[in-house]
Amino acid sequence: MPLLVMKFGGTSVADLDRITSAAEKVKREVDRGYDVIVIVSAMSGKTNELVSWVEETSHLYDAREYDAVVASGENVTAGLMALRLQEMDVPARSWQGWQVPINTTSVHSAARFVSIPRENIDAKFAEGFKVAVVAGFQGLSDESRITTLGRGGSDTTAVAFAAAFGAERCDIYTDVDGIYTTDPRICGKARRLDRIAFEEMLELASLGAKVLQTRSVELAMRYNVRLRVLSSFEETDENSGTLVCDEEDIMESKAVSGIAYSRDEAKITLVTVEDRPGIAAAIFGPLSDAGVNVDMIVQNISEKNYEGHSVAVTDMTFSCPTNQVARAKKALEDARAADKIDYDDLVVDTESAKVSVVGIGMRSQSGVAARMFQALANENINIKVIATSEIKVSVLIDRKYMELAVQALHDAFDLDKAA
């Protein structure tokens, strides 16, 4: 039998009526001849509630017990979904992570997959069951303890099952009807894409697009799992949603496929740092140890007159999330106190945003950066920092201009029109 993986997020199973609606979509695929593995999230709001209970019970909680409590939300949804399918005369059975088993590392609340053996679920399909409803977001460590995968882990669970079982496709049902050229809440001209390449989706997800979890896209690209993102709130068919697939499955691409943004970015500059071998490691090593997520980096070389001699110096600028600024400042100040680095000043700008254009078409089409910079110049938007990759150009700008920048770039690259 051909096999599909279908994943339903929290808003798609928010209550019993939504679970019924999701079950009807599963039954439709069973009626078409598929065996189905359904991955479910906890009902909307339930994970937050469980986390709050843990934190109220124990401020310095045991991470193993945290996972045991927080993973229970998905177990409830899986059982209810299996019951609803049985009421529809669809042979279904629920599975918790330990029953599959979903083998993971022992890093609680941030576990990663080790293996997903097929034998137990395959045996149930062989007995005549048509649907396996699996609790997402959870697994089993080598110490036989329940683990969780971090927020968005159910997306990753779905892709991992699709890879392990050789599924024809992995359908991610959510509260939006696909991947858009940019956030429709910011740009009314945003257009739903029929297809997008794995690499483009990975860039968009890492740059702030929240439709798919980054790890799930990484896994899909590695194992070439075709993903389809579609709405659980609408009637769907084979043409619904957005297919995330290999670049070879896309006939022709525009230079830019989408625009992502990150609202809460900070720019930190170390002024007048000695320019010598190892200085970058001396700066960014402590930041890494402190868990600071450094993104864009710019280095400006100059000279400083010191005791009658010209000494090569540099200003080192980088960006990071605004909620990590205090951690970054402490790490740099501690490194300075320990004589690992020296600088004249530490300048922090917490009023920045990052805007990025992404597209695999950049590989074969020139002039994207120039077009982007001109569009921003036309709106009198100053660029603070620039970073590029093969399929991406990102700029750091004043946060107050972020929405204007997104709209201007969407127009500049004609993203409201199909290729």
Chain segment 124-164, per-residue pLDDT in tens: 999 999 999 999 999 999 999 999 998 778 999 999 999 99
The binding site comprises: 7-10, 47, 74, 174-175, 180, 185, 210-211
pLDDT, average across residues 283-288: 94
* pLDDT of 4 above 80: yes
The binding site for ATP comprises: 7-10, 174-175, 180, 185, 210-211
| Residue 263 φ then ψ, to 5° | -75, -40
* pLDDT of 50 above 60: yes
The binding site for substrate comprises: 47, 74
Residue 59: band (very low, low, confident or very high) from pLDDT cuts 50, 70, 90: confident
CA distances from 28 to 35, 127, 130, 131, 156 (A): 11, 21, 12, 12, 24
* pLDDT of 303 above 70: no
Amino acid 300: pLDDT: 80
Amino acid 364: pLDDT: 82
- What the chain holds in terms of domains, given with CATH numbers, is 3-175 (3.40.1160.10), 260-412 (3.30.2130.10)
Q: Going by C-beta distance under 8 Å and a sequence separation of 6 or more, which residues neighbour residue 52?
A: none
Share of the chain above pLDDT 90, in %: 75
131-135 vs 35-40, strand pairing mode = parallel
Reference 416, options 204, 138, 192, 202; nearest CA is 192
Chain segment 81-116, per-residue pLDDT in tens: 999 999 999 999 999 999 999 999 999 989 999 999
pLDDT, average across residues 250-258: 81
Residue 306: band (very low, low, confident or very high) from pLDDT cuts 50, 70, 90: low
Amino acid 53: pLDDT: 96
Amino acid 208: pLDDT: 65
